[in-house]
DNA sequence: GTTTGTGAAGGCTTTCACAGCC
DNA sequence: GGCTGTGAAAGCCTTCACAAAC
């Protein structure tokens, strides 16, 4: 019988498991579109180039969602993953840094669909404040971060400033009460232990490909 | 004495090491700006929240760049990392998928500075072909991928299409002779063994933060 | 018969700790 | 004195393989 685990101890679960749950969600979405009702871990693995034992283990941290001899109900599994990841509630983002990347993300569907919602785009450059973003928001003064976080009930801060400004922006986000920060500036940012700050450096992936081109047989 | 290793066996070096080299490059850039001449692995670690033994080990795969009792020369170290990652040569990109993300990336500085150069933005949607991109390129017909790859000596293919189209685009990139592919569509793509195809799903990071918000004490 | 959930094994990565060198 | 480069140890993650369940 399918059942959630009583309690989820976040510390005992690897970040790798969490990021794979996101991947599984994409896979399950595709299976749903294809009209499948049930799927075994083995079939999921074969279709999407994954490991079946790992799928089972990742899911088992959170409950018993499968039926032995049968597999997983696709629609149910999707709902379980959504609840585990907390994607059943709205998550409100504020983007600080209205440069190329910031403006792009604010109307990138990944950031503004499926319960993620951009509720503010801020910048400290006076020449940018007041500009209309492609998504129909106006760029606001970064000084107003604290009030905006409170009034618009922001959950996640997104940093798309220069690397030089990133740490100060992160500090002010923490100060304003945000507990999660996603940093796209190419520099590490530090945050107190109760805050989760992740850095995503898009250039790292390009540089990995460059390494491959430079050294793998040609 | 600083010296490169004779031969780099790509298979024996972890992808994690390579991506950390990119991180080290960002750190070293900051140290250079700050005017430091020499840095020890310990100081690097302290400043940027890294592990000093790991830094030494990562670098040691590629040669002996440090001086015992002193540390690393910052300017030299930067140059070594650049050469290891193959960033001393121009890398030409073609972006397929002229939607929000594709257009954003083509004028995102991370993708168009420091020897990376976007030489084409393609789409299969006739209503988009001929549009001007923010970077001054025109959107071209995705059918022309093979000739563009050859004529403009493209090194890296970037996929910013819908997930449904991603695999077909990847296949055509491989067919056209590309050996490295960076996929931003939220779906796995498969490629032959001699091709390195990396998928970067930006939403995964948001969903990780959502998990943290849902389960870490609040 | 099939497939899940899971202990045990194997493999990989990080960290420690120190010899060797400056 | 200090720091690098590196074998050994510790820790973590993945994969195997099978009992339990359907």
For residue A108, give the CATH number of its domain. Answer: 3.40.50.720
Q: Both A135 and A156 in a single domain?
A: yes
Residues 12-31 of A with CB under 8 A from B: 15, 18-19, 21-23, 25-27, 30
Is the Cβ pair B179, A213 closer than 8 Å?
Answer: yes
Q: Is the pLDDT of residue A217 over 80?
A: no
Q: Both B97 and B200 in a single domain?
A: yes
Q: Both A68 and A97 in a single domain?
A: no
Q: Both A177 and A105 in a single domain?
A: yes
Q: Tokens standing for A47?
A: 């279709």
In a domain, A209, yes or no: no
Out of A103-112, B62-71, B112-121, pick the least confident: A103-112
Out of A86, A163, A194, the one facing B211 most closely (by C-beta) is A86
Q: Is the pLDDT of residue A36 over 90?
A: yes
Q: Both B8 and B108 in a single domain?
A: no
Q: What is the pLDDT of residue A115?
A: 94
Residues 6+ positions from A182 with CB-CB distance below 8 Å: A156, A157, A158, A159, A197, A198, A200, B205, B206, B209
Angle at A187 between CA B91 and CA B69, to 5 degrees: 95
A204 CB contact with strand C at below 7 Å: no
Give the 3-state secondary structure of residue A155.
coil
Last residue of some domain: A56, A84, A112? Answer: A84
Q: What is the pLDDT of residue B93?
A: 97
A93 contact residues in B (CB cutoff 8 A): 206
Sheet (strand A91-96) strand order? A139-141, A116-123, A91-96, A156-159, A180-183, A196-199
Query: pLDDT exceeding 90 applies to what percent of chain A?
Result: 86
Rounded to 10 deg, the angle between the B41-48 and B52-60 helix axes is 120
Last residue of some domain: B53, B84, B115? Answer: B84
Q: What is the pLDDT of residue A2?
A: 66
Q: Which of A77, A62, A55, A131 is nearest to A99 (CA)?
A: A131
Q: Both A76 and A163 in a single domain?
A: no
Given the structure tokens 């400290």, which residue do they identify? A124
Q: Sign (positive/negative) of CA torsion A174, A9, B20, A199?
A: negative
A206 contact residues in B (CB cutoff 8 A): 91, 93, 110-111, 116, 156, 182
Model pLDDT for residues A187-208, shown as the tens digit of each residue: 999 999 999 999 999 999 999 9
Residues 6+ positions from A200 with CB-CB distance below 8 Å: A182, A183, A184, B202, B205
In a domain, A158, yes or no: yes
Q: Is the pLDDT of residue A209 over 80?
A: yes
Q: Both A72 and A116 in a single domain?
A: no
- Average pLDDT over all residues of chain B: 95
Contact by Cβ (8 Å): A108, B103? no
Q: Both B135 and B34 in a single domain?
A: no
In whole angstroms, give the CA distance from residue A91 to residue A88.
Answer: 9
Q: What mean pLDDT is predicted for residues A46-72?
A: 97
Contact by Cβ (8 Å): B60, B66? no
Phi, psi angle pair for B162, to nearest 5°: -70, 160
How many domains does one find in chain A? Answer: 2
Q: Is the pLDDT of residue B1 over 60?
A: no
Tell me the residue range of the domain where A111 lies. Answer: 91-204
Given the structure tokens 């001449």, which residue do they identify? B37
Q: What mean pLDDT is predicted for residues B29-55?
A: 97
In chain D, which nucleotides are within 7 Å of a protein Cβ? 1-7, 12-17, 20-22
- Number of A/B CB contacts below 8 angstroms equals 200
In a domain, B213, yes or no: no
In a domain, B66, yes or no: yes
Distance in angstroms, CA of A68 to C1' of D20?
9
In a domain, A128, yes or no: yes
Contact by Cβ (8 Å): A103, A96? no
Contact by Cβ (8 Å): A22, B207? yes
In chain C, which nucleotides are within 7 Å of a protein Cβ? 1-7, 12-17, 20-22
Q: What mean pLDDT is predicted for residues A26-31?
A: 97
Model confidence, pTM: 0.95
Q: How confident is the model at residue B106 (pLDDT cuts 50, 70, 90)?
A: confident
Q: What is the pLDDT of residue A178?
A: 98
Which helix (H) or strand (E) segment holds residue B63: the answer is strand B63-64
Q: Which nucleotide is nearest to A64 (CA to C1')?
A: C5
Model pLDDT for residues B132-161, shown as the tens digit of each residue: 988 889 999 999 999 999 999 999 999 999
Q: What mean pLDDT is predicted for residues A25-40?
A: 97
Q: Both B101 and B196 in a single domain?
A: yes
Q: Which nucleotide is nearest to A57 (CA to C1')?
A: C5
Q: Is the pLDDT of residue B6 over 80?
A: no
Q: Both A96 and A71 in a single domain?
A: no
In whole angstroms, give the CA distance from residue B16 to residue A194.
Answer: 26
Last residue of some domain: B69, B84, B99? Answer: B84
Other beta carbons within 10 angstroms of residue A175's beta carbon come to 11
Given the structure tokens 């304003």, which residue do they identify? A176
Q: Both A96 and A44 in a single domain?
A: no
Q: Is the pLDDT of residue B30 over 90?
A: yes
CA B79 to chain centroid:
17
In a domain, B17, yes or no: yes
Residues in chain B: 218
Given the structure tokens 């500009």, which residue do they identify? A131
HEC profile of B153-187: CCCEEEECCCHHHHHHHHHHHHHCCCCEEEECCCC
Q: Both A103 and A168 in a single domain?
A: yes
In a domain, B20, yes or no: yes
Give the 3-state secondary structure of residue B48.
helix
CATH number of the domain where residue B63 is located: 1.10.10.10
Report the nearest residue to nucleotide C4, CA vs C1'. A68
Q: What is the pLDDT of residue A8?
A: 82
- Average pLDDT over all residues of chain A: 95
In whole angstroms, give the CA distance from residue A29 to residue A67.
Answer: 20
* Residue A198: closest C-alpha in chain B: B205
Residues 128-167 of A with CB under 8 A from B: 134, 155-156, 163
Given the structure tokens 């690097």, which residue do they identify? B44
In a domain, A39, yes or no: yes
Rounded to 10 deg, the angle between the B15-33 and A202-215 helix axes is 120
Distance in angstroms, CA of A191 to C1' of D4?
31
């Amino acid at each position: 019988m399918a059942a959630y685990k009583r309690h989820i101890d976040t510390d005992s679960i690897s970040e790798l498991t969490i990021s794979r749950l996101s991947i599984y969600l994409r896979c399950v979405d595709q299976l749903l579109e294809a009209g499948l009702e049930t799927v075994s871990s083995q079939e999921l693995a074969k279709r999407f180039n994954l490991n079946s034992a790992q799928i089972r283990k990742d899911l088992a941290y959170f409950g018993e969602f499968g039926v032995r001899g049968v597999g997983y109900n696709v629609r149910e599994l999707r709902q379980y993953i959504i609840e585990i990841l907390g994607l059943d509630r709205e998550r409100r983002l504020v983007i600080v840094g209205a440069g190329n990347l910031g403006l792009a993300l604010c109307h990138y569907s990944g950031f503004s669909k499926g319960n993620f919602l951009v509720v503010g785009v801020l910048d400290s450059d006076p020449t940018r404040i007041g500009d209309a973003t492609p998504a129909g928001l106006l760029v606001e003064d970064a000084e107003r971060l604290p009030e905006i976080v409170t009034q618009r009930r922001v959950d996640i801060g997104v940093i798309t400033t220069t690397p030089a400004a990133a740490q100060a922006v992160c500090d002010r986000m923490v100060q304003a009460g945000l507990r999660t920060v996603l940093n796209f500036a190419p520099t590490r940012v530090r945050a107190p232990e109760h805050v989760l700050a992740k850095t995503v450096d898009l250039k790292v992936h390009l540089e990995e490909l460059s390494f491959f081109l430079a050294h793998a047989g040609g």
